[in-house]
């Protein structure tokens, strides 16, 4: 069972002090200041602030602590670093975090050219983790509305991005790294128009495969991070010489938006109209071959023959 239901980070040039973060919290209600025992590993928790989550003040909480070093992208090893590995398995970094998330986020940050530089610069992290608690002797609280919970932690990350030395917002569950100004604008747009900041929660990525020439080479574009709102990611397989990356990007984002509004309604072997004004077939895949392993809605143009198996074999779910 995962300990936390959502997570977000602010990358910083140096680890900030909790006292600075407390000053930045403004109207957030601090309900506890947990102090872990000396033998508790930093990956589990450090000295922290616990606040009420505005979307669910009765049962929702966010634990805020500071990682005293760079984000641990390797996530440990069962033999060489078992404590960090166990913390990752327990969801101490977030519910859908997979190793090398920040490396992939920096490499695939098409919305921000400075992302890789921010990853290299950072030497500490503000970690925010959301959970739902019940008072002793009471019934378990209802599960949170995922979009409301994720919106609450995004607003909190935007507030704490004002800390000295902050260089980036990072959502490891969606492998999305964004400049603080991007997140601030997204929060403002939600306040004015109710537009969910999907681009803060998810990323769109490209994997190109070799072919004899560009007209026969294949590519995969996918989204990552939709599990945070209980939806599958979307994956398009296509020939690079036939479709433009920008058109596939727009297609994936449109399918994302449709599922956010309609729910998980796309059926296996159904078709939808897509780029090229052709129908694209839907295949429901339980575990895709790209990292992280997760369920996806795979899209392929129906008039393509002999589509290759672009991934040699699907990866097993969970930690390697």
Grade residue 320 by pLDDT with cuts at 50, 70 and 90. Answer: very low
3-state secondary structure of 56: strand
- Where in the chain does DSSP place strands (E)? 6-12, 30-32, 48-53, 56-67, 124-132, 166-171, 176-178, 203-208, 218-224, 233-239, 271-274, 278-285, 296-301
Q: What confidence score (pLDDT) does residue 214 get?
A: 67
Nearest Cα neighbor of 148 from 224, 65, 57 is: 57
Question: What number of other Cβ atoms are within 10 A of residue 113's Cβ?
Answer: 8
What phi, psi does 11 have (nearest 5°)? -80, 135
Say if residues 159 and 8 touch (Cβ distance below 8 Å).
Answer: no
- Please enumerate in sequence order all residues whose Cβ is within 8 A of that of 271, keeping only pairs 6 or more positions apart, or say none: 279, 280, 281, 282, 302
Residues 148-199 have pLDDT tens digits of 999 999 999 999 999 999 999 999 999 999 999 999 999 999 999 999 999 9
Q: Which pair of structure tokens corresponds to residue 30?
A: 């601090």
Q: What confidence score (pLDDT) does residue 316 get?
A: 41
Nearest Cα neighbor of 171 from 207, 128, 114, 132 is: 128
What does the alpha-carbon distance between residue 84 and residue 276 come to, in Å, rounded to a whole number?
A: 47
Residues 260-290 have pLDDT tens digits of 999 999 999 999 999 999 999 999 999 998 9
Mean pLDDT check: name the lowest of 2-6, 177-181, 228-232. 2-6
What does the alpha-carbon distance between residue 75 and residue 84 come to, in Å, rounded to a whole number?
A: 6
Summarize the confidence of residues 21-43 as an average pLDDT: 95
Summarize the confidence of residues 106-113 as an average pLDDT: 92
Q: Is the pLDDT of residue 223 over 60?
A: yes
Q: Which pair of structure tokens corresponds to residue 92?
A: 């101490």
Grade residue 317 by pLDDT with cuts at 50, 70 and 90. Answer: very low
3-state secondary structure of 297: strand
Summarize the confidence of residues 91-113 as an average pLDDT: 95
What does the alpha-carbon distance between residue 263 and residue 256 come to, in Å, rounded to a whole number?
A: 10
According to DSSP, the β-strands at 271-274 and 124-132 are: unpaired
Q: Is the pLDDT of residue 318 over 50?
A: no
Q: What confidence score (pLDDT) does residue 21 get?
A: 97
What does the alpha-carbon distance between residue 14 and residue 198 come to, in Å, rounded to a whole number?
A: 28
């Amino acid at each position: 069972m995962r300990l936390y239901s959502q997570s977000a980070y602010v990358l910083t040039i140096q680890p900030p002090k909790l006292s600075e973060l407390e000053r930045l919290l403004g109207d957030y209600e601090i309900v506890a200041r947990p102090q872990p025992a000396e033998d508790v590993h930093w990956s589990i928790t450090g000295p922290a602030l616990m606040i009420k989550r505005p979307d669910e003040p009765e049962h929702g909480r966010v634990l805020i602590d500071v990682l005293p070093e760079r984000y641990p992208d390797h996530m440990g090893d069962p033999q060489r670093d078992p404590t960090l590995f166990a913390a990752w398995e327990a969801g101490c970094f977030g519910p859908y975090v997979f190793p090398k998330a920040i490396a992939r986020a920096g490499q695939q940050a098409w919305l921000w050219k400075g992302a890789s530089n921010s990853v290299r610069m950072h030497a500490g992290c503000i970690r925010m983790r959301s959970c739902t608690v019940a008072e002793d002797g009471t019934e378990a609280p209802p599960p949170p509305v995922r979009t409301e919970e994720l919106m609450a932690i995004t607003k909190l990350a935007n507030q704490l991005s004002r800390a000295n030395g902050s260089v980036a917002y990072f959502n490891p569950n969606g492998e999305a790294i964004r400049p603080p100004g991007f997140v601030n604008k997204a929060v403002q747009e939600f306040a004015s128009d109710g537009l969910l900041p999907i681009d803060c929660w998810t990323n769109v990525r490209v994997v190109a495969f070799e072919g004899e020439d560009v007209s026969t080479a294949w590519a995969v574009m996918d989204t990552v991070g939709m599990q945070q709102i209980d939806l599958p990611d979307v994956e398009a397989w296509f020939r690079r010489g036939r479709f433009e990356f920008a058109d596939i990007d727009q297609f994936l984002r449109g399918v994302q938006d449709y599922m956010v509004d309609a729910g998980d309604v796309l059926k296996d072997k159904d078709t939808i109209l897509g780029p090229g004004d052709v129908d694209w077939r839907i295949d429901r895949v339980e575990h895709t071959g790209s990292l992280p392993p997760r369920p996806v809605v795979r899209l392929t143009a129906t008039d393509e023959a002999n589509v290759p198996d672009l991934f040699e074999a699907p990866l097993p779910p969970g930690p390697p």
